[in-house]
Structure 1
Amino acid sequence: MSTGVSLGDQAAGERELAFALLAGPAAGGARRATRSLLRSGRSQILDLIAHLPAPDRENAEATAARLWERGVRPLLCDDPRYPDSLRRFSGAPPALFCLGPMELLERPAVGVCGSRDASDGGIRAARACGAEAARLGIAVVSGYAKGVDTAGHLAALEAGGTTIAVLAEGIDHFRMKAPYRELGTAVGANMLVVSQFPPAQRWTAGAAMTRNQVIVGLSRALVVVEARDTGGTLKAGEVALRGSRPVFVLDSMGSASPGNQRLISAGGRHVADRRELRALLQQLRVEQAPLLPID
């Protein structure tokens, strides 16, 4: 059966995947790789890759072939398809490993971040955000964790919308969870999975914090649900505020959540009801995300 991809396209795609795998190690880290790609192009990193040990390069080529067969596609930060809002955001990764429809990255998007152990009210608030965003043609970007993330992703899909799952681990560890599989074929057409990490990297708390920068960078605003007084949700809200992204703090507990209060005090907007949320999302649809100077 034909896949619709020529051997030439496959070879070029595997080379791009291998380059994405090796750029960070060759440059001495992800941030250095991003800066080098955006300032000097690929020639410098290609020279550095050529000096890596042969087994490292051979392993990257074998991994690239395996990822390509699985449907994983690379997106380097110097590619015109790489979202400019992320490219200009602090902590932009040199590459994203993508599984699913990459064109979803072109849509206006809102980030959703919140507790893994959210209250019933928090889950309802996250679902309201996902459903309202879907009806407005806005993609929901979240972290594919249980609780608020899952509620936002699923509500968007159930309402006929689109969603982007940003992993806190390598894409080798991605598995479609049961609630998503129950939605059938719509998930494959309307959900993009991305990871900035080496494919075999496992979940860590530090990676989850780093992943949140991509969620914020892809989004025109961040919706926060039940932020604790410490942890990833609070940090994501702080990253968004520093990056000039609006932060909408949903009132799922009468704003009693300690992290919610801190974010509101720092400049986040308290959102009291669904009508106000809908109006804010409608405004996002026609606004552009701020274009920050490239570091």
Structure 2
Amino acid sequence: MSPLSCGVSPAELDARIRLHLLPELGPRRFHTLLSAFDSASAALSAPASAWRALRLPAACADARRDASIRERAQATLAWLDAPQHHLLMWDAPTYPGLLAELSDAPPLLFVAGDPGLLERPQLAVVGSRNASRPGLDTAQRFARSLAGGGFVITSGLALGIDGAAHQGALDAEGHTVAVLGTGLCHLYPARHKGLAADIVARGGALVSELPLDAPPHASNFPRRNRIISGLSLGVLVVEASPSSGSLITARLAAEQGREVYAIPGSIHHPGARGCHQLIREGATLVESIEHILEALRGWHTPTVAAPVAEVAAPTNDHPLLALLHAAPHSSEALVAATGWSLSAVLGALTELELDGRVAREGVLWVGRG
């Protein structure tokens, strides 16, 4: 079993997976159950009256004893035996810090590939499924340049802009994360199965909050979009109509405090209207990579905390550099040392990395110069 799945006992892991498989039990209800009963094992064995007292749907309580739920849980545990298959739980230290900030953060996150990418600075690139050739080329070029600069490119594996963004990252020998609106054993669209396999084979990751066998369903894709934006420092919309799901991702990003970027186009092109709408609503107008980098340089720049200022050497004009010149630190260690939020630390590290003043070595950050 994946080492990232061993933060709880085997019995508790099985219980969490079974809870996750119950119908009508979303993230908030899952958290309600764990808060009320302290563990998934206790929740599963609690009387139906206790579930009713929490105002949970009767279908949830009734399904706990279904043989199909137990069988699907066993299939999930068997899937986790593969070396590149992982399960991240919302209350474990391996869970992505930015995503954990969401009030409806997924309680379970299935990952095929490298789960460590979810803690690295990510930029989402999204847009229309029916994009124009110039739109596809633009998405691929931007993703290639951003991935070449060290960002992980995150998107939704859909046809159109999403696929072009993933491919652009791979072209740069960079890394990309695909967040699915299906289970990881039910890849959609079928035309991107080869791309999905390539993403994993070349060091990327496929991610889903849904049960492994979940098929495509229209309601799953807007839910998926909050994960794309929640993992990322910002969202770039390349080409989209006003009704595009990409605008949902952009608005979720704004609500989550992330940066939103949009590429303008001709007023005569329907695919530009969604981007123009976002720009009118305050998104950063982007014509080049520099416009994204400029916006990120001011992203969540933290106020210097007194303890850090006291240890900063006179030659270090940034508070994190004193810590990183003294010793390598993980992003989590920098959070503990500074008292800043993880999003603030990641934003500052991104700025320093772009300036060539820090570098990432595995899970650690080191100072340069």
Q: Considering the TM-score relative to the shorter chain, is it more than 0.5?
A: yes
Partner of 2:223: 210
Q: Offset at 1:69? A: 3.6
Structure number with the bigger relative contact order (C-alpha 8 A, sep ≥ 6) is: 1
Matched, 1:59 2:71: yes
- Of the candidates 275, 278, 281, which is equivalent to residue 260 of structure 1? 275
Between 146-155 and 25-34, report the one with greater CA deviation. 25-34
Please say if 1:48 is aligned against 2:43.
Answer: yes
2:139 aligned counterpart, secondary structure: helix
Contact 1:108 1:285 in 2 (8 A): no
User: Deviation at 1:20?
Assistant: 3.1
> Over residues 113-148 of structure 1, what are the superposed CA-to-partner deviations in whole Å (9 max), with x where a residue is unaligned?
100111122112211221122122111110011111
For 2:268 and 2:148, how far apart are their aligned partners in 1?
26
CA gap of 1:28–1:169, structure 2 versus 1, over 3 A, is closer
* 3-state SS of 2:80 partner: helix
Q: What amino acid is the match of 2:274?
A: G
2:136 is the counterpart of 1:126: no
8 Å contact from structure 2 (residues 126, 155) kept in 1: yes
CA offset digits 1:186-223 (Å, max 9, x no partner) = 74242111111122111122111110000000001001
For structure 2, the 5+ residue unaligned runs are 47-63, 303-341, 346-369
Match of 1:222, SS state, is strand
Contact 1:18-1:63 within 8 A present in 2 as well: no
Q: Which residue of 2 aligns with 1:33?
A: 30
**Structure exhibiting the larger radius of gyration computed from Cα positions:** 2
AA in 2 matched with 1:50 = S
Show CA shifts across 1:155-202 (max 9, x none): 111211111110011111137633565x6xx74242111111122111
Contact persistence 2:86–2:110 (CA under 8 A): yes
How many percent of aligned residue pairs carry the same amino acid? 28
With the length of structure 2 as denominator, give the TM-score of the two structures.
0.67
1:271 aligns with 2:283: no
What is the aligned partner in structure 2 of residue 22 from structure 1? 19
The answer to whether 1:102 aligns with 2:115 is yes
Q: Is the 8 A contact 2:300 2:343 kept in 1?
A: no
1:141-290 alignment, distance < 5 Å = 141-174=154-187, 177-179=193-195, 187-253=200-266, 257-280=272-295, 289=343
Count of aligned positions:
281
* Contact persistence 1:83–1:105 (CA under 8 A): yes
CA drift at 1:64: 2.4
What is the CA–CA distance in structure 2 between the aligned matches of 1:252 and 1:14, rounded to whole Å? 54
Q: Determine the C-alpha separation between the residues in 1 that align with 2:200 and 2:127.
A: 22
Q: How far off its partner does 1:24 sit? A: 6.1
* Structure 2 counterpart of 1:289, one-letter code: S
Shift of 1:17: 5.8
Higher alpha-carbon deviation: 162-171 or 129-138: 129-138
- Structure 2 CA distance for partners of 1:165 and 1:78, relative to 1, 3 Å: same
